Structure 1
């Protein structure tokens, strides 16, 4: 039984390796495959990661929030979903908590997350 678990964990780690590391507060681009009839296309979903759930398990998900025409839109993506083609990290955010639900009640400048500045010594 433990051999089967090891095989599944190895496959999971290989699948996770194709995505960059990101955390809540980061601004990311998620390239999502969308099927319309018999055609398939890639659509970008750009926004701020407000949470990651079940990190380091097979059922890991992350929630991305963006403002579209003045309305907040949130999408929950399973990390190992076959519909996710690519994830790009655009900016790293400087936040002090793992769940950024407080962004839901904010608008405009108040809804922004400060950018993390990497200082190399």
Structure 2
């Protein structure tokens, strides 16, 4: 009789796991092109001011991509008025309108924290401009 009880709890655990997976699974945003750390991207963010909503551009270098599933996010760093500004965006955020790849960066690591200590030309990453052909292929 004890064996029968174990089997039913095992089936229950599988059902709960599937339920969690179904709840946390969310459709990927189709307007986000594939990119990686070191790439320069244009992030279009929906900003609500009063009753009006507009789209604001945030352009910078992707310093890290972290997490997986619903909790996946990426951080973009830009220099604004001589000060480095980093902003983290969740991939499944309704505030994200779209993300466009501007340039492919040539980097050797996935987390680019060292950029925080650099300024001027030293903070530049060797890159190649992304062609429209690359963007069209990534969208498909």
User: TM-score, length-normalised on structure 1?
Assistant: 0.85
CA distance in 2, matches of 1:8, 1:26: 31
Using the TM superposition, give the Cα deviation of residue 16 of structure 1 relative to its aligned residue in structure 2, in angstroms: 4.2
3-state DSSP of counterpart to 1:21: coil
Q: Unpaired segments of 5 or more residues in structure 1?
A: none
Task: Determine the structure 2 residue equivalent to 1:59.
Answer: 71
Choose the corresponding residue for 1:4, options 16, 19, 32: 19
The structure 1 segments of at least 4 consecutive aligned residues displaced by more than 6 Å after TM superposition are none
Deviation per residue, 1:2-22 (Å, 9 max, x gap): 54355446x53x324442111
Q: Select the structure that is richer in helix.
A: 2
Task: Determine the structure 2 residue equivalent to 1:112.
Answer: 124
Q: Unpaired segments of 5 or more residues in structure 2?
A: 1-15, 131-140
CA distance in 1, matches of 2:103, 2:19: 38
Structure 1 vs Structure 2 CA RMSD: 2.0
User: TM-score, length-normalised on structure 2?
Assistant: 0.74
Task: Determine the structure 1 residue equivalent to 2:109.
Answer: 97
Deviation per residue, 1:9-56 (Å, 9 max, x gap): 6x53x32444211111000000000001111000000000000110x3
Larger Rg: 2
Q: How does 1:57-96 map to 2 (within 5 A)?
A: 57-96=69-108
